Amino acid sequence: MTYQLTLTVPGQPPVHRTVTGTTPVDLAQAVHHHARGLLGAQVDVHLDGLAGTVHRGTACVGEFTLDPIKETAGTPGPGRDDGIRWGWTLAELDDVVRRAVTRTHQYRACDADERYATGWHAAVELLYTALDPPSERDLYCAAWRAADYLTTRTAEERGVARSRGDTYTGRMDLPKWHAYWETVTRHTAGPEEPVVERLALTQIWPRLHPRYQAALHALAVHENYYAAADALGLKHCTFYAQVRHARNAFLALWWEGETPRRGWRDRRATTEPTQLHSISAHVRKRRRAGVAA
């Protein structure tokens, strides 16, 4: 039979739960697990008919009543035929899980439906595998921990480290994640870009003025504006102007019929030849300077 449990604790509003039982022992166990979940400590239930008291040691800490719930013919009573154990109903379990999965700010970092589903399955699993009636706190903690673990794992899959670092070593850069996603499974570019560039060069180059061709060719060979200008016998300012006009003409043909992008800056115009080194060269230079010091 199904009963409406009303549990009253001094200083707190009454708590209503639905319990089921056919014998006084079943009812006492159902009341006990709700009382323990509410009070959070070892308690004893004294049942006298459809009423009773809750004791902690020798002190009375609460009272309760059980009111029979009339069931409509052909309709199963809540908590009895809906597949929930230990007197729990779907509505009560849903309330516990929803409060658990929204307990911390982490619920914003993961899909809400996934967190709820994870917490729900954890609570149901505990409810059906427990040898003793689990308290409300037990179900609450099971749903909360499962949902937070899901959020943490989801963040790690996206490259966000845990607060304690990767594998509890204190590292926050997730080296294993980067080793997999940035090397083995990195997206590689297709052959389209180099093919398009080569075809475009062969089509645009003959359409450039010979003066522009000479300026670009000299700059490509000498890799330096001053040396290229001297090779063509031009003043530096004149050579700069020819290169600028040549690039503008080239880009006009390249972006023909499209919206042109923003141009780039050629560092060879302002950087001394002795400074055009790779990063490795700069590292070696710093090491030699440190040893000399």
Q: Is 2 exposed, middle or buried (0-12, 13-18, 19+ CB in 10 A)?
A: buried
Q: Report the predicted TM-score, pTM, of the whole model to 2 decimal places.
A: 0.34
119-138: per-residue pLDDT in tens?
Answer: 888 888 888 888 888 888 88
Bridge partners of residue 212, in order along the sequence: none
Segment 221-275, tens digit of pLDDT: 988 888 888 898 988 889 999 998 998 888 888 888 777 666 655 655 555 555 5
CB burial string 227-256: b at 16+ within 10 A, e below: ebbebbebeeeebeebbeebbebbeeebee
Where are the domains positioned within the chain?
Answer: 2-68, 90-157, 192-275
- For the chain (293 residues), the mean pLDDT of every run of 10, in chain order, is 82 81 82 76 81 85 83 41 68 84 69 83 86 83 86 72 49 61 62 82 90 91 88 89 90 79 58 53 68 64
Residues in the chain, total: 293
Residue 185 corresponds to which amino acid?
A: T
Q: How far is CA 116 from CA 107, 197, 267, in A?
A: 9, 52, 55
Write the DSSP string, 267-287. GGGTS-GGG---HHHHHHHHH
Distance CA(227)–CA(86), nearest Å, equals 89
> CATH topology for 192-275?
Arc Repressor Mutant, subunit A (1.10.10)
Nearest partner of 34 among 24, 46, 21, 19, judged by Cα = 19
Tokens of 254: 């390249």
